[in-house]
Amino acid sequence: MKTSSVDVILFDLGGVLIELAGVEKMLEWSKGLAGTDDLWRRWLQSHAVRAFETGRIGTDEFAVRLIEEFGVPVAPAEFLHAFDGWPRALYPGAKELLAELAPHFELASVSNTNEMHWQRFTGEWTLDQSFHHNFPSHRVGKLKPDAEY
């Protein structure tokens, strides 16, 4: 007998299961930003971010375009080196929680992400294997919070 009306649990990854870093560095690099809220607003509206995280441009083009948009005073290689570490780590207990839920619920991930970070999620952390379905934005071609996603 089923004890719950919940069939599927949809998890965001960044800030929910994955600890994020990089905000401080972007604020340091982008002197024109008024703070964290301004950074996130501009990040989600950025043409470079939207193109990269929906899979329309590659890593190198993303770095060049983002540096130009935000006025970041570093070379693309330095930016990408820092950007690679922005998903810092899985939060403690994240995989254990998913393992406990998986036999009882259909688990899915949805995330604004890109080919660079997704390789870490799937290779280094094998996080994709904890879900029945994964919907990373760079493969879906849509971003949260856009209604089309």
pLDDT by residue for the chain (149 residues), tens only, comes to 456 788 999 999 999 999 999 888 888 898 888 888 999 899 999 999 999 999 999 999 999 999 999 999 999 999 999 999 999 999 999 999 999 999 999 999 999 999 999 999 999 999 999 999 999 999 999 999 888 88
Task: Report the pLDDT value the prediction gives residue 2, as an integer from 0 to 100.
Answer: 55
Instruction: Count CB-CB contacts under 10 A for residue 16.
Output: 13
Name the β-bridge partners of 107: 9
Task: Report the pLDDT value the prediction gives residue 1, as an integer from 0 to 100.
Answer: 46
Rounded distance between C-alpha atoms, residue 24 and residue 97, angstroms: 29
Task: Report the pLDDT value the prediction gives residue 4, as an integer from 0 to 100.
Answer: 72
The residue type of 116 is M
Give the burial class of 68: count Cβ atoms within 10 A of its Cβ; 0-12 exposed, 13-18 middle, 19 or more buried: exposed
Rounded distance between C-alpha atoms, residue 94 and residue 107, angstroms: 13
Rounded distance between C-alpha atoms, residue 70 and residue 32, angstroms: 8
Give the burial class of 6: count Cβ atoms within 10 A of its Cβ; 0-12 exposed, 13-18 middle, 19 or more buried: exposed
